[in-house]
Each structure stands twice: as C-alpha cells, then as structure tokens.
C-alpha cells in the first residue's frame, strides 16, 4: 500500500529529478575541481598547550578569534576552530582553571596565587 502511494505522488517525481540533477552537477564539479582532503587535526593536548602559550605571550585578555589566529600562527599549521574553542572551554571550567573568561568570548590566563610575584 505505501509503495503505491509513493508512486502516485507527482511531487516525488519532481523532487527525485532535482536530486538526480544535483548529483550529476556535483559529480561534474568534483571532476573539474577536485578537492584535497584536510590535514588531520592536532591532538587536543597540543592545542591546549598552544593556546596556553598564546595567552602567556600576549599577557592580556584576547578574544577567541584572536587566540585561534595566533595559535595557528604559533603551531605553523591549520587548527580546527572548534578544537581551540573546546580547549578554552575546558581550561576555563573545573577546579584547576587554566584560563579565566573575562567576558563573553574573551579569555586570559588564570592568575595562580602561588606564581604571583607580588
């Protein structure tokens, strides 16, 4: 019964023809302009260490976008923006915070009273 209903639906034929045309278009595009696969993203501990180094060198609060660009430059290779954001989120929560969220999207190194010189 369900198959008969699907075959009698004129809209389904129109939608399937669009999908077929899109498929052909994408195949042609892939042949004409092949894309290279993205490099494997860095491991999370490396991203966390890079983000920490960026904030140590900056010695000021930075936006997540600034941190991402500086971390990519410091690493010398592309990083996933989500990995940097995850490192910031993980480092700014919990009992041993590495970063302090100053305001929405702005982070700085958490001040450790044991490392303070004053």
**Do 50 and 105 fall within a single domain?**
yes
**Do 50 and 93 fall within a single domain?**
yes
CATH code of the domain covering residue 90? 1.10.10
Arithmetic mean of pLDDT, 35-42: 73
Domain of 22 in residue numbering reads as 2-32
Asked if the structure places residue 114 within a domain, the reply is no
Asked if the structure places residue 117 within a domain, the reply is no
pLDDT recorded at residue 72: 94
Structure tokens at 56: 């140590």
Residue with tokens 């899109």, as numbered in its chain? 22
**Do 12 and 50 fall within a single domain?**
no
Asked if the structure places residue 60 within a domain, the reply is yes
Summarised one tens digit per residue, pLDDT across range 81-93 is: 999 999 998 888 8
Range with lowest mean pLDDT among 49-58, 74-83, 88-97: 88-97
The pTM of the full predicted model, rounded to 2 decimals, is: 0.58
pLDDT recorded at residue 56: 93
Strands 99-103 and 106-109: antiparallel
**Do 73 and 97 fall within a single domain?**
yes
Angle among Cα 40, 67, 96 to the nearest 5 degrees reads: 90
């Amino acid at each position: 019964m369900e198959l008969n209903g699907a075959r009698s639906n004129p809209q389904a034929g129109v939608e399937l023809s669009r999908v077929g045309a899109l498929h052909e278009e994408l195949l042609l595009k892939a042949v004409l302009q092949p894309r290279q696969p993205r490099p494997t993203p860095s491991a999370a501990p490396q991203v966390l260490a890079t983000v920490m180094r960026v904030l140590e060198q900056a010695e000021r609060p930075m936006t997540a976008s600034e941190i991402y660009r500086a971390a990519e430059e410091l690493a010398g290779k592309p990083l996933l923006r989500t990995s940097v954001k995850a490192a910031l989120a993980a480092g700014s929560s919990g009992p041993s915070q590495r970063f302090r969220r100053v305001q929405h999207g702005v982070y700085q190194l958490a001040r450790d009273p044991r490392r303070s010189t004053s």
